[in-house]
Amino acid sequence: MRVVAVLLLMALHLGACADAVDPTLGTEQAFSLYGFLDPTASRQALRVVPIVGAIDGDTLSALPVEVTSVERGTGRTASWRDSAFTFRDGSTGHVFVADYTPTSGETVEVRVEETTGERRVTRVEVEVAPLQRPVLGTVLTTGAAVTYPIQIQAPRVLTTELVFRVVGLAEAPLDTVAVPFADVAPFTDVGGGMWGLDLDFLPTARAFLASPQVRGATLRLVDVTARVFVTGPQWDVPPAGLDEDRIIEPGTFSNVTGGFGFVGSGFWASTRWTPSLATQSRAGFLVEADPASVLTINEVSGGGWVELYNPTPETLPIGGYRVAVGADRATIPAGQSIAGFGFTVVRVAATLQRGPVVLESLSCVPLVDLDVGALPDDPDVFSFGSYPDGRSRQIGEFAQYRDFDLFRGLIAPTPGAPNRPVSHISVANEVFTTGADGWVETINRLGIRSVLVTDDPDRTLSEWVQARRVGDFWVADETPGRLVLDQLGGEVVVVVLRNKNPPRVYDVRPYGPQVPGQSSGLLPDGERANWTEGLRPTPGAANALARFGL
């Protein structure tokens, strides 16, 4: 977008010379300030440029200033410390940092005051953007187009990019590589505080495949992520844009009092999905499988039925496909389809005793199979399937468990509805994300010898964080590369090791944005249906609501 290019031009210009060479000679103002507050980060940075009257100032000595910030509503304060910073072009400057996460939706005043001489003050007020994630709506598919509607509630969306995770790049032909692509239509203000993009996927994907990053390689697509940079209202650039020749002049596009520059707020937010194989093929990605091969055999019951799950956002036609369980077969009626992220239940026989279960194509070619072994005798109490829906992850790290799946096993029967365990022998009871010292608290039944927690179940089990016993609870500490707790929200996955049983996922807990200093959890403890925001962080103790001033 033009606005982004202009702002980057401003930043590059400011980084092209040492701080002692400021273009605003002769002014009574004290400092120029540049940066933005990120409510998803545990550390903030602000460039402070002294406005001096000589070009030979000592920019590496500590500035004689005090930098503080205060939130108008909460009263939270932060002190910022100076650091001499060398930029990529070799220039130097002062970047003040604070170990602080701004509160979403608050107004923050940043104050820079000289500690010598006239004690001049430069200040700026910043409205922190509210934390939200973009949401993918119902996909619109026609003969000529596939449109992914994406919306987010935000004061403003400044820029957008897609990230294609692909396999087949020349430099890493067997690896899955994330490739950013910025040539994307912008989000627009659709009213009511919402910004939206109707992503016309086919031409966008074809442009990506023709881009220099791909260099003509034939790629398989793993998934797509839409990333947006959400900002506060300070980034409200005039509709006609800004003159690129004037953006670097003092006072232009400035919200600073007693000085120059610009300080805003913003953060990156994203949503990820996997297009259907039919859409991938139309876009030009390599697809060699039947479109229905993305479906999963989600649940199998001794009562004679099999449930299929569609992990893509697009409706898939499945009329004429067959489900086979041993010698029993059932053909799905003509014209039937399965909605995006939806279920279809197929009655195969009066009863089923054991697998394997196979989904066959229109030409009877096996597409998806699941070896369920012997099915439970009581189909009203037990079935076999995935929890959560569609998930599967073979345990390849340990030889004794190599034939087991972290996400599959006995579950409660839920035909045509989301799967759930027979019982939650371990639950995520509380999640705390503020700063770099977050944690996850679990409640476990007796007999559990180990609990492992992560945010990414594709990691090997040895990389998951082992929870430690704290009173009647277990606590897993945030650890880079093993358990990362995003201030914007995410999910935590809990695996239990019990006696000689193989590792198994017993809880997956999505959590949303948190107010700094507050947690989210079950209230009362262990009541899985009562996930509550705004708790007082109590690792290893009973959950409680936060009180004002906490």
pTM for this predicted structure: 0.87
Burial of 535: CB neighbours in 10 Å, binned 0-12, 13-18, 19+: buried
- Confidence (pLDDT) at 21: 41
SS3 297: strand
Task: State the DSSP H helix or E strand holding residue 522, giving kind and residue range, or none if neither.
Answer: strand 519-522
Task: In whole angstroms, give the CA distance from residue 172 to residue 408.
Answer: 32
User: Which residues of the chain, if any, have pLDDT below 70?
Assistant: 1-27, 52-60, 236-253, 547-550
**Cβ distance 251 to 260 under 8 Å?**
yes
**Cβ distance 346 to 330 under 8 Å?**
yes
List, in sequence order, every beta strand (DSSP E) within 92-183: 92-98, 107-114, 121-127, 135-136, 140-141, 146-153, 156-169, 172-181
DSSP state of 374: B
- Structure-token match 């369980």, residue found: 325
Q: And the tokens for 195? A: 């910004």
Task: In whole angstroms, give the CA distance from residue 94 to residue 507.
Answer: 46
- Confidence (pLDDT) at 243: 54
- Confidence (pLDDT) at 65: 94
- Confidence (pLDDT) at 241: 57
- Confidence (pLDDT) at 316: 96
